[in-house]
Amino acid sequence: AMLRGATVVLRRALSSGQGPEPGQVPGSARLEPSLLRFLVCPLSKRPLRYDEATNELINEELGIAYPVIDGIPNMIPEAARTTQKKPPAEGSKQP
């Protein structure tokens, strides 16, 4: 049900004819802030933080960032880049 709501919001944002602002670089459209209520990391299922400076959705816990392309988040784990913080190694125990 939550995914359906996000799809409706995405469709509304895309069909409203809000293209990139004049003078804006293609591919740099910002994320619609209302989408953040619906979006979670596909790996951890936790909320994400939107970083306007880099136009990415950040998962602090896992130390990864998903790119936002033309206002649409690319949340395929393979598309995410690793941020400075390294996630704990698989199977390692936290001290």
**What's the rounded mean pLDDT across residues 12-33?**
58
| Measured distance CA(74)–CA(78) in Å, rounded | 10
Q: Which amino acid is it at 62?
A: L
Nearby residues of 62 by Cβ (< 8 Å), 6 or more positions away: 41, 43, 44, 87
Residue with tokens 């004819």: 17
Choose among 53, 95, 94: nearest CA to 83: 53
Pick the CATH number of 48-86 from 3.30.499.10, 2.20.25.10, 3.30.420.40, 3.60.21.10: 2.20.25.10
Task: Determine what percent of the chain is predicted with pLDDT higher than 70.
Answer: 59
Closest CA to 3 of 48, 35, 50, 31: 35
Domain ranges for the chain = 48-86
- State yes or no: pLDDT of 51 exceeds 60: yes
Residue whose tokens read 């910002």: 30
For residues 19 and 32, the model is more confident at: 32
